[in-house]
C-alpha cells in the first residue's frame, strides 16, 4: 500500500562551496578550478531542473482529467434505473442496505449532504459541481490536508480501496472539555462535471479493513449533476425522500453518542431515518 505523508518537506542535499580547502591549495587556479566550477554549475542546474519537474508533476497530479470509474460511483447517465435499490435524494441516489440509518445535513434552506450510519461506522456523502475536463480531488485533498495539519492534526495520503485518500487524526474537543483526536478518512472520486466526497468515521476509519460495506455504498452511489450551469465546487443540492420520517433533535444526539470517536465533529441539521 502506497503512503505519502502530507505536509512534510522533502530534504535535499546541496553541493558545498568550491573554496572549501583551507590548507593553502586555493592558489592552484586554472583548469582544475574552472572544471570544478563548471561541474558545480551543472549540479545546480540539475537541482533546479529537478525542482521544476517535481513542481510540474505536482501540478499535473492536481489537474488530471477524471479517470475511469469501472466500479463506480456512477453518473446518472450510466445507470438504467438509479432508483433501483437506492434512496432518491435528488442529486444523489444512495444505496440502501439492511439496518442502515440515513441522515441529511442542511446548510441554510438547502440539503447538501447525506450520512449513512451503519452500526458503529458512518460515511458522509457530498457531491459538488466540477469542471468538464479537470478533476478536483487532488487539489481538494491538498487543501484538506493543509487545513488539518495547520490545526495540529496528522494526515497520511494513502492509496486505498477507493484510490488516493486521506487518513487523518483531527483535533477535537472531548465531552469532558479536554483535547483529543478523532480518526477520519476522506475519500473522493472525480466524475463527469461532478466530484463525490466521502467522509468515513467511527470504526470504519479506525479499522479501514472493517469499512468494506461503507466503501461499497460509496461506489454504488449515483450522482445526478443536472444540465444547468454551476460554478465548480458548488454543492449539488439534495432533497428529502417522499417517505422520509423526521427524527427529533434529542433522538439524534442520543443516537450519535453510540460512536466511539465517530461523528462528533460533523455539523448536522434535521435528520431522516430510512429502515431497510
Summarised one tens digit per residue, pLDDT across range 42-60 is 444 444 554 555 555 444 4
Helices 31-62 and 137-150, packing angle to 10 deg? 100
- Boundaries of every domain in the chain: 27-62, 74-272
Query: Which class is domain 74-272?
Result: alpha beta
- For residue 240, pLDDT beyond 90: no
Spell out the long-range contacts of 226-234 with Cβ–Cβ below 8 A and sequence spacing 24 or more: 226/91, 230/129, 231/129, 232/128, 232/129, 232/130, 232/131, 232/136, 233/128, 233/129, 233/130, 233/136, 233/195, 234/128, 234/129
**Which pLDDT score, from 0 to 100, does residue 72 have?**
85
- pTM summary value: 0.68
Q: 31-67 as b/e, with b when 16 or more CB fall inside 10 Å?
A: eeeeeeeeeeeeeeeeeeeeeeeeeeeeeeebeeebe
CA of 218: how far to CAs of 22, 94, 196, in Å? 65, 8, 9
**pLDDT for 107:** 83
Percent of the chain with pLDDT over 70: 64
Q: Would you say residue 253 has pLDDT above 70?
A: no
Mean pLDDT along residues 116-145: 93
Amino acid at each position: 500500500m502506497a503512503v505519502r505523508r502530507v505536509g512534510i518537506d522533502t530534504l535535499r542535499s546541496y553541493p558545498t562551496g568550491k573554496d572549501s580547502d583551507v590548507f593553502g591549495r586555493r592558489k592552484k587556479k586554472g583548469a582544475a578550478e574552472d572544471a570544478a566550477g563548471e561541474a558545480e554549475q551543472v549540479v545546480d542546474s540539475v537541482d533546479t531542473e529537478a525542482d521544476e519537474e517535481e513542481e510540474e508533476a505536482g501540478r499535473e497530479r492536481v489537474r488530471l482529467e477524471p479517470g475511469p470509474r469501472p466500479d463506480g460511483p456512477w453518473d446518472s447517465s450510466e445507470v438504467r434505473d438509479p432508483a433501483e435499490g437506492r434512496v432518491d435524494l435528488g442529486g444523489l441516489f444512495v444505496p440502501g442496505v439492511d439496518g442502515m440509518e440515513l441522515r441529511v445535513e442542511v446548510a441554510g434552506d438547502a440539503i447538501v449532504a447525506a450520512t449513512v450510519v451503519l452500526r458503529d461506522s458512518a460515511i458522509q456523502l457530498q457531491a459538488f459541481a466540477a469542471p468538464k475536463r479537470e478533476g478536483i480531488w487532488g487539489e481538494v485533498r491538498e487543501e484538506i490536508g493543509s487545513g488539518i495539519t495547520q490545526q495540529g492534526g496528522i494526515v497520511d495520503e494513502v492509496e486505498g480501496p477507493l484510490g488516493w485518500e486521506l487518513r487523518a487524526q483531527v483535533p477535537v474537543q472531548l465531552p469532558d472539555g479536554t483535547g483529543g483526536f478523532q480518526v477520519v478518512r476522506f475519500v473522493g472520486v472525480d466524475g463527469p462535471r461532478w466530484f463525490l466526497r466521502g467522509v468515513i468515521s467511527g470504526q470504519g476509519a479506525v479499522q479501514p479493513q472493517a469499512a468494506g460495506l461503507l466503501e461499497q455504498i460509496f461506489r454504488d452511489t449515483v450522482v445526478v449533476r443536472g444540465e444547468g450551469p454551476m460554478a465548480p465546487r458548488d454543492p449539488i443540492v439534495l432533497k428529502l425522500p417522499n417517505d422520509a420520517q423526521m427524527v427529533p433533535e434529542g433522538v439524534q444526539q442520543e443516537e450519535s453518542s453510540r460512536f466511539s470517536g465517530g461523528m462528533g465533529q460533523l455539523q448536522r441539521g434535521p435528520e431522516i431515518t430510512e429502515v431497510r
